[in-house]
Amino acid sequence: MADDIVAYLAALDLERYADVFIENEVDLETLPHVSDEDLKELGLSLGARRKLLAAVARPQQGGEKPPVVAKAGDVQAVSSAERRQLTVMFCDIVGSTALSERMDLEDLREVIQAYQEVCAKEISRMDGYLAKYLGDGVLAYFGYPQAHEDDASRGVHAGLGIVNGMNALNQTLAERLMFLP
């Protein structure tokens, strides 16, 4: 466990802080929950805090541990690297600002959560990677972390699935929340 945090910090050129992390029982499991103030209390410089928080905030799927970046000379990591095409899809709710002005906050949250569930289901169905929720937007990758020959096609099919799912969702929400989309 201590070796993991040491390797992670070393990959970020922050290995000088490894002893402090070990002494304070900060491991890869607790690291995503550490705040800037916590890092400041541990004695990290501003630059080190920013570097570490940026690395921890990078998109991670399903609660994975923070990825360890390969260091120069790591033959296994270098030999497994590959160049590949990546399809990126971003979608959001059309007219969400106007919708937010008309709806109660709790109802709007329900609409956005239902929308995100439709998106996540379709992205997952096409073996995409849901990278991030951005307000009412969803960012997804096809070709990462698993590449397929037809990742662009998978992205298009996920988008079409989301559109179809939204038609059904709009009807359900219009009936339940008494508004027309």
Query: Mean pLDDT across the stretch 156-169?
Result: 94
Determine the Cα–Cα distance for residues 25 and 22; give it in Å rounded to an integer: 5
Same domain, 44 and 92: no
Out of 78, 102, 122, a domain closes at 78
Q: Domain with 62 in it: what CATH number?
A: 1.10.150.50
The domain containing residue 28 runs over which residues? 2-78
Same domain, 72 and 18: yes
Q: Domain with 116 in it: what CATH number?
A: 3.30.70.1230
- Provide the number of structural domains found in the chain: 2
Per-residue pLDDT of 29-77, as tens digits, reads: 888 888 889 999 999 999 999 888 888 877 554 444 455 444 444 444 4
Lowest mean pLDDT among 26-30, 137-141, 157-161: 26-30
Same domain, 116 and 150: yes
Closest CA to 127 of 107, 104, 150, 93: 150
Same domain, 13 and 69: yes
Asked if residue 145 has a cis previous peptide bond (ω within 30° of 0), the answer is: yes
Same domain, 66 and 92: no
Same domain, 108 and 143: yes
Q: What is the pTM of this model?
A: 0.54
Closest CA to 166 of 57, 93, 83: 93
pLDDT the model gives residue 174: 78
| Residue 49 CB contacts under 8 Å (≥ 6 apart), including other chains | 36, 39, 40
Contact by Cβ (8 Å): 99, 111: yes
